[in-house]
Structure 1
């Protein structure tokens, strides 16, 4: 895993940006602590930070050129089928200087051009410069596991693995208020938008090509999903195929020349991955995180059961609320674009502790979005089936609205879920998805803006952006429509962003076997009832691997990788909320948010009925910290 950055200059003004490549590259040091390299000519400047995983020798340093020195590559990611691709290239007479997947990717591009992307199995963001044509080719992996930011204007194209590396070029920092409005609802910013008006994220499965002053973007991959067109395999044969595909995916992701382990949360997904990995790596080391003073969130008991069953060396990192508070400054300082999924705190600490033992870790991420594992999926199924129970819940919405709601214990969390479900029943399919995907409704988020901020918000552009994100959710659709949107929206812009940023902050590479594109394509060939029914979520995953896992993992509530945020905000972060980042005087001086609306949110946070307000407060805190650091 690495960090990349670069400039393509259209003119002399653009070339001035090249003096910042070294500083931009240095901002990515945590992504690649092992080596820093650079290249520049009159057209292009490239910077690279290396985290050595495969062929850790100097032969793998980047930027890397071919034998003729016509082509130059910088690469972030892993190509898991690089050995097979290498053999094919050798059979055509290609020779290699290293054992790296980077050189295989470079030679594949030289041989096949842009179509090389169709042969890659892995996750990546890379740039390849052709000196003779003076062209630059950028690409991002199919699922969006690796990030790629870019800025295009009349003078240059800038690109980088993280926003902080783009900021190092001294860009304009005008906020994108449509992006901010979206963030205030979802707690993250979906691609292609970023918090800055001029910076974009390259979409998953897309490439960008620059030649002769022209910039073109292309979609080279979309999940081949056809509504109501499903596999003819029986359910038993579906399970056999999933077992075969997932074991193959795990096995491919065990290749490394550095220590490799596996996350083990105690849930089904990570337990399956660790179990399959242990078959091929007898010395597998597994890692989990627990909360010593928050038993409601702690699942380490189940992780230990799995570790004992599969015989791994297992390490548990037990945290207190104070541990979360102790790391928060480092986490917020690393976040270079507002991102407020609070479980990032736990991922950061898990990655930090795991890095002491391994450089690569496998993870169960992606299974929930692909195979239907979330509460909202079960709620959508109830809506689709429209049974009497769902109707009753909807009718009782006035009751749920007055009952105490919070994530702090099982009962109040159930009231919270019932209230969200009841409200969602009254909405269209698209609006229902949007509400259940976020923490604040549009009318709630809009109240946070001052008049000046409202005047900067283009509601027509916002609506167009939202329509684009929700375009695959029809009225009367099924769960697969919801999952397809999750994989295009929630997965890359929330879940994978969280894992990438928090792992890279600790120089740890995370590999996600469930997101091998062959598995994702297989998943979208399945009928909805193979994934979820009224009794079971992720049905095919649970059924396929049931005999391999301890029985205690089944028939228990899904908790997710959450943190006890409510108590933490009310105690350790109380002074930060009241006296600093959300203090009236600071809000007033800043001029973005309405003081009275923020006051109401603060009162609700410290009330007996906080609901989901802690997530909204956390979103505001993250933005405020970011704004002070980058914009004030």
Structure 2
């Protein structure tokens, strides 16, 4: 894993600056390449072939192709052998050189042969053509700016901001963030800066930019495979074996839940030495801590286990988190994720984690809830509306065990869902939003088009549509964004075995009844792991954080500091009265209002840091203003 950057003109000092700001992504080495019409930069995190032969940017023997690359190609040995048969000779043992010569041999068709995670750029000096690509599911990031003359790209937006780019907010993306807590699609919060979408490549030639898709989730075959559990276990084991290839120590994030426990158990069965596992938790008085369950798994598999408890002030950590994320993030999980990667970085350079299982095999709670809602379509609309208005909310929980969990806003949520029970796209949009239509009208004082949930035609039934939507939007822009940035913040590489594209495609083709069965999420994964894991550790459990304590103590002070009547009026984006109401009513609907508060707070902090250029010190007094 590394950091890459570049632009379509020659400037050694500027490309050095772009590379330097990505030092956390690659502290082991730095390289630049400049030529007429191109500047490429690279920060190296040495994982394979630690020698100087793996340095980047790397050129081919003829010197006409040069690559800067971030990621891992897990099947590079097989591709290397095929290239050797065609006469290619290699100077290193890296996947970088294999990717470079693979492109020389097959052009963009090389993408079809790759198994791995990647974001890379290859400059063809003979054709004066720049080729860039991003992996199938979006594990590795790639951002770019294009105004018809200047083309600038990088692993992180902060590198692009070193250029003379006007810093202004993309209002459409802002509406998406405040509603969903992330930005689906290619837009970012920075006007003019975009993401290359997963499974896509770009070609820049003669000042024309061409973007093409090379992979998408295939339409499900709806297989009712009686050996599905066995096949899932086999494919996951194969995926893990590939991801254990490295010339540096490897560990596993262990939460105590099904996905990380499955990876830990399978790794323990492969490696001779004890698996290095890492867990994060909190000091609870009234909750079963994540650490307890993780420790049970660690003891069962005799791992070399390390854990950390998040304590101390967290408000001062937020600016540092946002600097690494480049964009606000509406989930406090960024804090324990950062501390976990910080812990792991003291022992290993690569970590395996369980991201991607929920989106492939149906692990999120909303999937079951939406399937329950679908059954309510049989109830006449007039009767449904009467019930929403007059029946106590806890009665709804007997049919649809969700509304009372979000407090006083639960009834409003049910009303919104009931109004669109025959429109599952709109219903799902309402379900995953943290703002209702009324909230948005009341709170937001700016124009902007919000993204709508659009299910792909032909991908029915409902569960398949939801999984596809989340895999294309939520997973790369929320889940994998956190994984990449929080690991890279501490200079370690994150690998995600559940997102090997062969496993993803197999899971995609399974019938929904093998994913949610008898009310059990990820049924086929649980079946696959029955003989691997202790029975008590195949149950789904939430990751609890002391949000109530945070909101009532230090975050309350930070909210009051960030959102004064004067500052809100000067910004002009929000209604101060609505922000004040959210805080005052927090006790009545902690789950929903808590999400809204954290989302708003991070947006304001981000705006001050990246748009206004304010100096905000972090918990360890790192001064961010020099980067802004």
Question: TM-score of the superposition, structure 1-length normalised?
Answer: 0.90
The verdict on how the C-alpha distance between 1:533 and 1:589 changes in structure 2, with shifts beyond 3 A counting, is same
Q: In the TM superposition, what are the counterparts of 1:331-346 in structure 2 within 5 Å?
A: 331-346=321-336
Q: Could you tell me which residue of structure 2 aligns to residue 513 of structure 1?
A: 497
Q: Is the 8 A contact 1:31 1:51 kept in 2?
A: yes
Please give the alpha-carbon distance, in whole angstroms, between the structure 1 residues aligned to 2:324 and 2:185: 20
The verdict on how the C-alpha distance between 1:565 and 1:315 changes in structure 2, with shifts beyond 3 A counting, is same
User: Is 1:171 matched up with 2:153?
Assistant: no
The verdict on how the C-alpha distance between 1:275 and 1:323 changes in structure 2, with shifts beyond 3 A counting, is farther
- Runs of 4+ in structure 1 off by over 4 angstroms are 387-394, 396-403, 414-423, 473-476
Q: Could you tell me which residue of structure 1 aligns to residue 279 of structure 2?
A: 288
The verdict on how the C-alpha distance between 1:527 and 1:418 changes in structure 2, with shifts beyond 3 A counting, is farther
Please give the alpha-carbon distance, in whole angstroms, between the structure 1 residues aligned to 2:480 and 2:143: 15
- Cα deviation for residue 327 of structure 1 reads 3.2
Q: Could you tell me which residue of structure 2 aligns to residue 429 of structure 1?
A: 424
Q: Could you tell me which residue of structure 1 aligns to residue 345 of structure 2?
A: 355
Q: Could you tell me which residue of structure 2 aligns to residue 8 of structure 1?
A: 8
Please give the alpha-carbon distance, in whole angstroms, between the structure 2 residues aligned to 1:539 and 1:40: 52
SS in structure 2 of the partner of residue 524 of structure 1: helix
Q: In the TM superposition, what are the counterparts of 1:300-311 in structure 2 within 5 Å?
A: 300-311=291-302
Q: Deviations over 1:333-374 (max 9, x none)?
A: 323122222211111111111111111000011101110011
Q: Which residue of 596, 611, 619 corresponds with 2:577?
A: 596
Q: In the TM superposition, what are the counterparts of 1:4-403 in structure 2 within 5 Å?
A: 4-9=4-9, 19-226=13-220, 229-231=221-223, 233-234=225-226, 237-283=227-273, 284-293=275-284, 295-296=286-287, 298-320=289-311, 322=312, 324-325=314-315, 327-386=317-376, 395=387
Please give the alpha-carbon distance, in whole angstroms, between the structure 1 residues aligned to 2:459 and 2:264: 39
SS in structure 2 of the partner of residue 612 of structure 1: helix
- Cα deviation for residue 611 of structure 1 reads 4.0
Is the deviation greater in 114-123 or in 424-433? 424-433
Please give the alpha-carbon distance, in whole angstroms, between the structure 2 residues aligned to 1:629 and 1:390: 51
The verdict on how the C-alpha distance between 1:526 and 1:367 changes in structure 2, with shifts beyond 3 A counting, is same
Q: Which residue of 529, 534, 537 corresponds with 2:513?
A: 529
The verdict on how the C-alpha distance between 1:398 and 1:504 changes in structure 2, with shifts beyond 3 A counting, is farther
User: Is 1:489 matched up with 2:473?
Assistant: yes
Please give the alpha-carbon distance, in whole angstroms, between the structure 2 residues aligned to 1:387 and 1:449: 32
Q: Is the 8 A contact 1:184 1:619 kept in 2?
A: yes
- Cα deviation for residue 245 of structure 1 reads 0.5
Please give the alpha-carbon distance, in whole angstroms, between the structure 2 residues aligned to 1:329 and 1:278: 37
User: Is 1:621 matched up with 2:596?
Assistant: no
Q: Which residue of 498, 519, 541 corresponds with 1:558?
A: 541
Q: Could you tell me which residue of structure 1 aligns to residue 558 of structure 2?
A: 576
Q: Is the 8 A contact 2:406 2:590 kept in 1?
A: no
- Cα deviation for residue 191 of structure 1 reads 2.5
Q: Deviations over 1:61-106 (max 9, x none)?
A: 1111111111100000000001111111112111111111111100
The verdict on how the C-alpha distance between 1:387 and 1:276 changes in structure 2, with shifts beyond 3 A counting, is farther
SS in structure 2 of the partner of residue 56 of structure 1: coil
The verdict on how the C-alpha distance between 1:416 and 1:347 changes in structure 2, with shifts beyond 3 A counting, is farther
SS in structure 2 of the partner of residue 546 of structure 1: coil
Please give the alpha-carbon distance, in whole angstroms, between the structure 1 residues aligned to 2:197 and 2:521: 29
SS in structure 2 of the partner of residue 506 of structure 1: coil
SS in structure 2 of the partner of residue 133 of structure 1: coil
The verdict on how the C-alpha distance between 1:476 and 1:144 changes in structure 2, with shifts beyond 3 A counting, is closer
Q: Could you tell me which residue of structure 1 aligns to residue 590 of structure 2?
A: 610
Is the deviation greater in 295-304 or in 174-183? 295-304
Q: Is the 8 A contact 2:308 2:340 kept in 1?
A: yes
Equivalenced residues, count = 601
Q: Is the 8 A contact 2:253 2:277 kept in 1?
A: yes
- Cα deviation for residue 113 of structure 1 reads 0.4
Please give the alpha-carbon distance, in whole angstroms, between the structure 2 residues aligned to 1:417 and 1:270: 33
- Cα deviation for residue 170 of structure 1 reads 2.2
RMSD, matched Cα: 2.6
Unaligned runs of at least 5 residues, structure 1: 10-14
Q: Is the 8 A contact 2:384 2:418 kept in 1?
A: no
- Cα deviation for residue 503 of structure 1 reads 1.1
Q: Is the 8 A contact 1:397 1:423 kept in 2?
A: no
The verdict on how the C-alpha distance between 1:75 and 1:525 changes in structure 2, with shifts beyond 3 A counting, is same
The verdict on how the C-alpha distance between 1:558 and 1:422 changes in structure 2, with shifts beyond 3 A counting, is farther
The verdict on how the C-alpha distance between 1:618 and 1:218 changes in structure 2, with shifts beyond 3 A counting, is same
Q: Is the 8 A contact 1:260 1:285 kept in 2?
A: yes
- Cα deviation for residue 411 of structure 1 reads 11
Is the deviation greater in 116-125 or in 39-48? 39-48
Please give the alpha-carbon distance, in whole angstroms, between the structure 2 residues aligned to 1:505 and 1:286: 19
Please give the alpha-carbon distance, in whole angstroms, between the structure 2 residues aligned to 1:171 and 1:19: 17
Q: Deviations over 1:17-50 (max 9, x none)?
A: 7652221111111111111111111200011111
Q: Could you tell me which residue of structure 1 aligns to residue 618 of structure 2?
A: none
Q: Is the 8 A contact 1:188 1:341 kept in 2?
A: no
- Cα deviation for residue 402 of structure 1 reads 9.6
Question: TM-score of the superposition, structure 2-length normalised?
Answer: 0.90
Q: Could you tell me which residue of structure 2 aligns to residue 12 of structure 1?
A: none
- Cα deviation for residue 137 of structure 1 reads 0.3
